Copies of this chain bind each other. A is one copy, B any other.
Amino acid sequence: PFADLDLERQQRTGYPETVFGEGKTAEQITAIIEKFRENEQVVLCTRISPEKAHYVSQKIAQAKYYQTARCLVIGDKMTASPDSYIAIVSAGTSDIPITEEAAVTAETFGNRVERVYDVGVAGIHRLFEHLDVIRGAKVVIVAAGMDGALASVVGGLVASPVIALPTSIGYGSSFNGLSALLTMLNSCAEGVTVVNIDNGFGAAYSASVINHM
């Protein structure tokens, strides 16, 4: 069999196994979802193209597709407690596909999300206008490509944990996100940890664990 599903993961880590859609066929994805649904878990699939989403939706009626985020969710989102929330802060308009992957993941896993988009350091007053929302979050995700400088700036302004999410936005010596990744790993502000380039899912997963504490 092509897949050996980790059905006990929810019990072990608090969350079910997520289906990473890249490099799997629509048939494989459908079969995996059906297997998980036997256990009545909510299933989150990431990196799903519109074509694959279309195929799966025809087989599995309740599948809901989030196009910008390229996510497919089957089953009800976990219930969010409204008191605490995750802030997702981004530098530019082009980061939105990645931040929406993070947002849909966080909401599926039962979190309230506040989006603060397009507040990169080239016009830093935009960030300060939203500082209350950002400081009020239990945990903050900061997404940026190019220079990735936003993570350090936010890291210096808040007391909550910051998860830095480098994106592959940029050109030339951004080297598909390497520049932003290195910037964030070398943040001169403390309290900043980093996930892989374009890993919106991973950033939201870790944020969710912290937000539910």
Output the least CB separation between A120 and chain B (Å): 5
Q: Which residues of B contact A3 (CB under 8 A)?
A: 93, 117-118
Please tell me if the beta carbons of A122 and B206 are within 8 angstroms of each other in the complex. Answer: no
Is A119 an interface residue, CB under 8 A from the partner? Answer: yes
Please tell me if the beta carbons of B159 and A23 are within 8 angstroms of each other in the complex. Answer: no
Given contacts A175-B182, A190-B202, A197-B171, contact A123 B17 (CB under 8 A): yes
Is A54 an interface residue, CB under 8 A from the partner? Answer: no
Q: Which residues of B contact A136 (CB under 8 A)?
A: none
The copy count of this chain in the complex is 8
Please tell me if the beta carbons of B191 and A185 are within 8 angstroms of each other in the complex. Answer: no
- Residue in B15, B160, B179 whose CB lies within 8 Å of A186: B179
Is A61 an interface residue, CB under 8 A from the partner? Answer: no
Please tell me if the beta carbons of B198 and A195 are within 8 angstroms of each other in the complex. Answer: no
Is A108 an interface residue, CB under 8 A from the partner? Answer: no
Contact bitstring A143-163, B, C-beta under 8 A = 1, else 0: 000111101110111111101
Is A76 an interface residue, CB under 8 A from the partner? Answer: no
Identify 17 new A-B residue pairs, CB closer than 8 A, beyond the known A122-B156, A191-B209.
Answer: A1-B118, A2-B117, A4-B117, A4-B126, A6-B123, A12-B157, A17-B122, A91-B188, A120-B188, A121-B188, A122-B152, A124-B157, A147-B149, A147-B186, A148-B149, A149-B183, A171-B199
25 A-B contact pairs sorted by A residue (CB < 8 Å) = A2-B93, A12-B157, A13-B158, A13-B159, A15-B190, A17-B122, A24-B94, A122-B190, A123-B156, A124-B157, A147-B148, A147-B149, A147-B186, A147-B187, A147-B188, A148-B183, A149-B183, A161-B210, A168-B172, A171-B196, A171-B198, A172-B186, A173-B196, A190-B205, A193-B202
